[in-house]
């Protein structure tokens, strides 16, 4: 059988395969082992709530974070230029990120 081991908060700690009689042996203290009847369970995509698997919201991807960090960096640079009296240069810089 496929199994899921989760903590009290429902966070999936590990998944795997074992014989039915070995299911109780998969969990350590403070953990719960249940049969994975859904298949494809992932600690990145799922959580266990009241014995049921629920989907987690998507995590930010590194490419999204990089773009967000880049825009924040450009805005800080533009703010410094504007504070130094270089409003035109600040405006040009902000146009590179669309605002």
Sketch the domain layout of the chain as residue ranges: 2-55, 62-95
Q: Is the pTM of this model over 0.85?
A: no
Q: Are strands 12-17 and 2-7 parallel, antiparallel or unpaired?
A: antiparallel
CA distances 20 to 26, 27, 91, Å, are 11, 13, 66
SS3 9: coil
Q: What integer pLDDT is reported at residue 65 of this predicted model?
A: 63
The secondary structure element, H or E, covering residue 64 is: helix 62-83
Confidence tier at 61 by pLDDT (50, 70, 90): low
Please state, in angstroms and rounded to a whole number, the distance separating the CA atoms of residues 76 and 82.
Answer: 10
């Amino acid at each position: 059988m496929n199994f899921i081991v989760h903590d009290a908060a429902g966070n999936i700690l590990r998944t795997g395969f074992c014989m039915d009689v070995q299911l109780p042996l998969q969990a350590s203290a403070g953990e719960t082992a249940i049969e994975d009847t859904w298949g494809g369970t992932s600690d990145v995509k799922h959580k266990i709530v009241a014995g049921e698997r629920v989907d987690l919201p998507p995590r930010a991807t590194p490419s999204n974070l990089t773009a967000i960090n880049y825009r924040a960096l450009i805005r800080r640079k533009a703010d410094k230029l504007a504070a130094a009296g270089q409003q035109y240069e600040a405006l040009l810089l902000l146009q590179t990120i669309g605002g």
